[in-house]
Structure 1
């Protein structure tokens, strides 16, 4: 029986008091923000005519945003740990409405700034160089800016436009209740988190496949509601792209990422074609080691050597973090200590908690990490991943102003996946035992590369097919989404893996589809991380210091420039091809180690 949120040990939960000590402080902050927005409107609306006033309004807008950040973070983090909590639901709804109102109220700022002569904006940059990046991005938006009243109306609908994502989470985390499943007369509990954290990795084939069947059967009952929710989200994105004059929804969604479709398509096309043969070898190795008559989709997440994988405590995970990431230096180590000592991390497993893991890094405050701790050793890599996000923004937020701190989504997964690679490098360097080495390498393949280069990449390939349909004026429903997802899976796995019934429903499990063109960025980030981690492995502190400089740069450079600072040229195919070759070499090493271990039995 899963615990309710109020039943979990407090030491396994995060402490949100750094944001607000109590509800009264939270409500007071909302009132002050609403009042400050009104003052900005009364002071500046219709008056932004020269560079002096332009700099003043940007400064005022920045200061207000800094006050909105803890409000939004508190509401979002509260509901993410318990979607069933009525107070959290109402708080989140109130914040959404408040933010939409303020956004509409202050939409005049962008409109009036863009109505200025470009020479005045350049003059503003000279007077307030800290806002240069903000102004440059503003100028880039000019071709896609609508009439001020249209912008105000769209901003007012902000919370409504986010409704599909909220509906998706409500369906997934509140309404869907899984029944226990039975194997050989024994009953096992099932939930979203237990399936993705435990049963999907279960070494007992009968239990694992029964869990998959039970999980898929329940998803099937909600497929039409979930598909309609997603179709609504897609139509909002397409309408926005059309209204603003983008050539396609792809161009609209890639605009803020500061990359073109060449980089986007390359990740999907090259990996789908060139990684597939390597991953099919890995699937066959799993099948051989586990003695499976056939390899099914439900078997792809199992460990190569489940009897070897130790269980570890939360405190033991701390030691792994400190040791594995020690190469990042003393300041980074202090950040890791703070994360555990000050309860930045929510480890608890409880009803209504968001699935997967994430890191939220509110500007001006410390980061927060969500994870549902299962005590499996592979969770060390998940935690290292999220603390990679934390370390990134801990450094960037300290060095950059609010407008400059956040890099493009294209780059966002590089620091997180980098930590997974550093953890693997450390573990491999500290043991010559063949079985341990095989376990570490298999974890890199099964966790780091499978998750980021396969799971998320196939999501991206599927997502591209969906958007192509939407761009042509089409719609989607459950049958279409199931067909598209199954096609992608079958193309990648060929006849090596049986795409069992229910596999096509994995499109229902991923919240990333409500976050634009996000899934492909995992492989993009890991491509950069793989190359830089190899530099760190061979060059040591010189490469580490360059990487720390990149992290501190935040969003002041484009993804291409950030990668170049770290010694990687992502304008060419080479880093991606090298990374695919590296994954292939890891799988070859797993095959050799398996033969060595079996010969020694």
Structure 2
């Protein structure tokens, strides 16, 4: 039986995160918002129309760094409170009020970039030479110059930012607040259902009747909302297309890749090679699951099954510490201290409750410490998920200590490397401390079923679907629910071929991910894991020199492009070799799982 979800007020507080690390009281938060507004007013009064010397530019940007830090703290304070309980109207109200403030601030301060962009380039170059802290910010302004709009247009767009970002909020309210999943019944037994329960538990359930009934009930509820969610998504992609056109980009994809600082070749290679080269390996894995579970016909609802369902160890939050610390201590004593603080100072929200965001994420407010959201299910696979999110946490914690706030914006192309690296380190550690063949098979199958499936299959298939959507939008078309369903089904059928039946409901998978509201994020999971896989092999082979290189990368953050960061770590992502090597590595793991299964089961 799945667990009944508690109200947020009824969960164990010690297993929730502590947002008082940002602001101890509501009064402190309100004072910070007041300070933020006053600082913005002061900047507008002192600098508007006057950014025509290197001195005035740098003086202004020095104050903008303070604004950005206050914005980080106040914004995350509201946003994180909502993420753990979307049913709390008080938190929603605070968050929506701040979104309006944020939009107003963006509008008031839009003159800064506009005035600098329109000024003499020699003045910008002199400003760059006079300030190390503002150098990268000013270089970005120069890079954006070709795509800047009239200052008044930029001001209006900034003022409308809250409204323009509403599709994501509508999606979250629909899926997390409005979708009321009813219990489903199998053989006279009732099972509770929610977005979180399906994705965390029922999708992995070993009972085929329960698993497929849960999938059917879950899909049925999604289907009721498909037109609403499709309308929100159509608004999102149409906004992106309009902005791309206004700024002079040839396509939406070009526009979104520009912000990632990578070219289209890297983007298309990631999708095309994985669709072609990884598919045969994953079909072999699906056949193995079919054989182990004695399933007559493998369907989309069966793909999350475990290779050894009777073996996965249970693990409490407390017990997870020894695994997390043991695996990640290889990255250094100071790295390990960050991990210990995450547990001791309640950086992590472990509990499951009604209205909580699904999945897992890490938020990294500059000026505070990171916050990790996860829904702990007492299964060993959660150790991998937590290692992943703590990879983000430690990455940004180290970077935020090393860089000023202008230099902490790492490209999304690279951002998943430190997180997925930790999953690989966890696997290597577990196999080192336990050489039992069955345990080794469990670790390897967790790597395939979770780490690589999640990043190289789930998110990559999202990316393939997303590319098709943007191609339609670029050609002047629109996307309704029926179109989105057809695209998603076609992508799934192309990847899985005849080895997996794409049943009714599978086509609605596009409704399950928020990534489509975050630009070209989905494909970057496989890009990041490609880099992490290659670096992890270096660490196994070379030891400390490879670790030292990786630590330097973690602290470099937004001062380098993804290509430069990967090069620092010893990986050349301008070629297809790292990706092909990683796909081969995945294939070798699957082959070893098949071999171990034959040995274990005779």
TM-score past 0.5 threshold? yes
Distance in structure 1 (CA, Å) of the matches to 2:98 and 2:271: 37
Distance in structure 1 (CA, Å) of the matches to 2:480 and 2:95: 29
Distance in structure 1 (CA, Å) of the matches to 2:164 and 2:320: 40
CA shift at 1:428, angstroms?
1.2
Corresponding residue for residue 72 of structure 2: 69
Matching of residue 171 in structure 1 with residue 174 in structure 2: yes
CA shift at 1:72, angstroms?
0.4
Corresponding residue for residue 472 of structure 1: 475
- Structure 1 unpaired stretches of 5+: none
Distance in structure 2 (CA, Å) of the matches to 1:126 and 1:465: 44
Kindly report which structure 2 residues correspond to 1:332-347, keeping only aligned pairs within 5 A, or say none.
332-347=335-350
Distance in structure 1 (CA, Å) of the matches to 2:208 and 2:540: 38
Kindly report which structure 2 residues correspond to 1:195-594, keeping only aligned pairs within 5 A, or say none.
195-594=198-597
Distance in structure 2 (CA, Å) of the matches to 1:414 and 1:406: 14
Comparing 405-414 and 510-519, the one that deviates more: 405-414
CA shift at 1:540, angstroms?
1.2
Distance in structure 2 (CA, Å) of the matches to 1:173 and 1:589: 40
Q: Give the match's secondary structure for 1:224.
A: helix
Distance in structure 2 (CA, Å) of the matches to 1:114 and 1:228: 36
Q: Give the match's secondary structure for 2:311.
A: coil
CA shift at 1:431, angstroms?
2.0
Corresponding residue for residue 108 of structure 2: 105
Corresponding residue for residue 94 of structure 2: 91
Query: Is 1:396–1:406's contact at 8 Å kept on the other side of the alignment?
Result: no
Corresponding residue for residue 25 of structure 2: 22
Query: Is 1:278–1:587's contact at 8 Å kept on the other side of the alignment?
Result: yes
Q: Give the match's secondary structure for 2:362.
A: strand
Distance in structure 1 (CA, Å) of the matches to 2:450 and 2:153: 46
Map Cα deviations across residues 333-358 of structure 1 (whole Å, 9 max, x no partner). Answer: 11111000000000010010000000
Corresponding residue for residue 8 of structure 1: 11
Distance in structure 2 (CA, Å) of the matches to 1:174 and 1:457: 27
Distance in structure 1 (CA, Å) of the matches to 2:135 and 2:455: 34
Q: Give the match's secondary structure for 1:351.
A: coil
Corresponding residue for residue 181 of structure 1: 184
Map Cα deviations across residues 85-129 of structure 1 (whole Å, 9 max, x no partner). Answer: 001110110110000001000100001111111111110011112
TM-score, normalised via structure 1 length? 0.99
Kindly report which structure 2 residues correspond to 1:39-50, keeping only aligned pairs within 5 A, or say none.
39-50=42-53
Query: Is 1:104–1:153's contact at 8 Å kept on the other side of the alignment?
Result: yes
Query: Is 1:415–1:529's contact at 8 Å kept on the other side of the alignment?
Result: yes
Map Cα deviations across residues 71-93 of structure 1 (whole Å, 9 max, x no partner). Answer: 00001100000011001110110
Q: Give the match's secondary structure for 2:295.
A: coil
CA shift at 1:406, angstroms?
2.2
Distance in structure 2 (CA, Å) of the matches to 1:10 and 1:120: 54
Distance in structure 2 (CA, Å) of the matches to 1:63 and 1:496: 56
Q: Give the match's secondary structure for 1:374.
A: coil
Q: Give the match's secondary structure for 1:420.
A: helix
Matching of residue 128 in structure 1 with residue 128 in structure 2: no
Distance in structure 1 (CA, Å) of the matches to 2:414 and 2:57: 30
TM-score, normalised via structure 2 length? 0.99
Distance in structure 2 (CA, Å) of the matches to 1:66 and 1:56: 16
- Structure 2 unpaired stretches of 5+: none
RMSD of aligned Cα (Å): 0.6
